[in-house]
């Protein structure tokens, strides 16, 4: 299918830029490419490979003749325009949270539930970045020994807040080092040499923030396991790019670190970085720009006498596997299968 017409909504944002880079680097064949963004970006030139493209305005006619649209412009834009695109016969791969929990919209990580993508009705949801980074390495373990409970603590980089948050971290750090002051503009608290609870809204009943609840709800849907128990604490840290997560995982049967390492070896999307002799484990510096989720610090949870619990540490590029790469992989899966159900 070399004559696909592709649309990128939110092309000028941090994830949109990664979409363009991945289309070129992964040699994703297309006939035409339309870049759409807000009015302030109209006319801007952007590259995909060695070709220049001009950013256009997003409107209700933007999807006529399009086959695949990558959305990364926020939930309100997705809610308004994704159904319009789908009605035009375009398959939407949406990076926002707008449709993730819609029972009629598949929530897909290709390494885990590729078959779900092929049952779409015009819209496919990309999971939350923290969910993806945790579940890619947990899924192979879940297949061997069912996971009963996950306790997650995330260390989330500025990239999760987009290009503006990344720039805020740079500006705040520069000001701090020069002895000046930087008033937060994008995030609610001073960012340089600081960390704070994720800035998503806090649910007044559970007191979990929305980022944490996303991990809970999305994991249940992707694993198709409503009984799995999950608790998360999501924290924003002063790292430019790539999220980290400390995961404590309880399994149905006793499990050993050597089994975990064996089950993760050669798994798609996973790379073991687990050298206790050198105290060398996953770091955002090394995960940045990488397609794989790095996994290490694999050890028995000594607080569980049943030997059914494992502690581990993971790091993954939020802009790549946590967002754009997962979307591109979904598109590649669709192309391989003739775009799936809605196109049939």
184: domain CATH number is 3.30.360.10
Other CB atoms within a 10 A radius of the CB of residue 234 amount to 26
Cα separation of 317 and 133, whole Å?
8
CB atoms within 10 A of CB 259: 16
- 141 with 44, same domain: the answer is no
Q: Which residues are catalytic?
A: 129, 243
* Distance separating alpha carbons of residues 92 and 37, to the nearest angstrom: 16
Q: Which residues contact 202 (CB under 8 A, 6 or more apart)?
A: 208, 209, 210
Alpha-carbon distance of 92 to 102, in angstroms, equals: 14
- 341 pLDDT more than 80: no
Which value, to the nearest 10 degrees, does the dihedral of the CA atoms of residues 237, 241, 246, 251 take? 150
User: 201 and 163: one domain?
Assistant: yes
* 3-state per-residue secondary structure call for 138-197: HHHHHHHCCEEEEEEEEEECHHHHHHHHHHHHHHHHHHHHCCCCCCCCCCCCCCCCCCEE
pLDDT of residue 339: 82
Is residue 148 very low, low, confident or very high in pLDDT (cuts 50, 70, 90)? very high
Specify burial of residue 269 (Cβ count, 10 A radius: 0-12, 13-18, 19+): buried
CA distance 169 to 192: 6
Q: Give the C-alpha distances (Å, rounded to integers) separating 79 from 54, 74, 92, 181, 258.
A: 25, 9, 11, 38, 45
Q: Phi, psi (5° rounding) for residue 151?
A: -115, 120
> What is the C-alpha separation between 269 and 289, in angstroms, rounded?
13
Residues 150 and 213 in one domain: yes
* Rounded-to-integer distance, Cα 237 and Cα 244, Å: 10
Residues 115 and 150 in one domain: no
Tally Cβ neighbours within 10 Å of residue 145: 18
Are 146 and 75 found together in one domain? no
Q: Are residues 66 and 104 in the same domain?
A: yes
pLDDT level of residue 6 (50, 70, 90 thresholds): very high
**Mean pLDDT score of the chain, rounded to an integer?**
96
How many domains in the chain?
A: 2
pLDDT one-digit tens code per residue, 19-63? 999 999 999 999 999 999 988 999 999 999 999 999 999 999 999
| Banded model confidence at residue 311, pLDDT cuts 50, 70, 90 | very high
Distance CA 113, CA 96 (A): 19
- d(CA 245, CA 18) in angstroms, rounded, equals 22
**Is the distance from CB of 32 to CB of 181 less than 8 angstroms?**
no
Domain shared by 181 and 258, yes or no = yes
0.75 surpassed by pTM: yes
Same domain, 145 and 249: yes
Do 298 and 150 fall within a single domain?
yes
Structural domain including 251 reads 131-318
CA dist., res. 186 & res. 167, Å (int)? 9
51-57 sheet: strands from edge to edge: 45-48, 51-57, 32-37, 5-9, 68-71, 91-94, 123-125
Determine what percent of the chain is predicted with pLDDT higher than 70. 98
At 1, is the pLDDT very low, low, confident or very high (cuts 50, 70, 90)? Answer: low
Please check whether residues 182 and 76 belong to one and the same domain.
Answer: no
- Residue-wise DSSP of 66-135: -SEEEE-S-HHHHHHHHHHHHHTTPEEEE-SSSSTT-TTS-B--TTT-HHHHTT-SSEEEPPPHHHHHHH
My answer on whether 150 and 261 are in the same domain is yes
Does residue 183 have a pLDDT over 50? yes
- Are 292 and 219 within one domain? yes
CATH number at residue 48: 3.40.50.720
| Whether the Cβ atoms of residue 294 and residue 269 lie closer than 8 Å to each other | no
């Amino acid at each position: 299918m070399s004559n696909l017409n592709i649309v990128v909504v939110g092309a000028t944002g941090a994830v949109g830029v990664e979409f363009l880079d991945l289309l070129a680097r992964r040699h994703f064949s297309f006939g035409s490419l339309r870049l759409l963004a807000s009015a302030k970006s109209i006319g801007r030139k952007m590259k995909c490979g060695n070709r220049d493209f001009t950013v256009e305005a997003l409107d209700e006619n933007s999807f006529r003749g399009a086959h695949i649209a990558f959305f990364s412009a926020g939930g309100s834009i997705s809610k308004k325009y994704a159904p319009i695109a789908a009605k035009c016969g375009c398959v939407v791969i949406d990076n926002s949270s707008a449709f993730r929990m819609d029972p009629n919209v598949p929530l897909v990580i290709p390494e885990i539930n590729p078959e779900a993508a092929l049952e779409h009705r015009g819209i496919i949801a990309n999971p939350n970045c923290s969910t993806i980074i945790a579940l890619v390495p947990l899924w192979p373990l879940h297949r061997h020994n069912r996971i009963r409970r996950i306790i997650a603590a995330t260390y989330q980089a500025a990239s999760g807040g987009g290009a503006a948050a990344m720039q805020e971290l740079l500006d705040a750090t520069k000001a701090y080092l020069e002895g000046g002051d930087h008033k937060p503009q994008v995030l609610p608290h001073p960012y340089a040499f600081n960390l704070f609870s994720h800035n998503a809204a806090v649910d007044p009943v559970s007191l979990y923030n929305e980022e944490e609840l996303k991990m809970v709800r999305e994991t249940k849907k992707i694993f198709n396991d409503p009984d799995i128990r999950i608790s998360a604490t999501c924290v924003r840290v002063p790292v430019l790019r790539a999220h980290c997560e400390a995961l404590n995982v309880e399994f149905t049967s006793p499990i050993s670190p050597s089994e975990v390492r064996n089950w993760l070896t050669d798994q798609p999307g996973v790379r073991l970085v687990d050298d206790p002799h050198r105290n060398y484990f996953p770091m955002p510096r090394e995960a940045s720009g990488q397609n794989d989720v790095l996994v290490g610090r694999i050890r028995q949870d000594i607080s569980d006498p049943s030997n059914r619990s494992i502690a581990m540490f993971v790091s993954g590029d939020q802009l790549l596997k946590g967002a754009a790469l997962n979307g591109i992989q979904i598109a590649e899966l669709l192309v391989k299968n003739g775009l799936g159900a809605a196109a049939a």
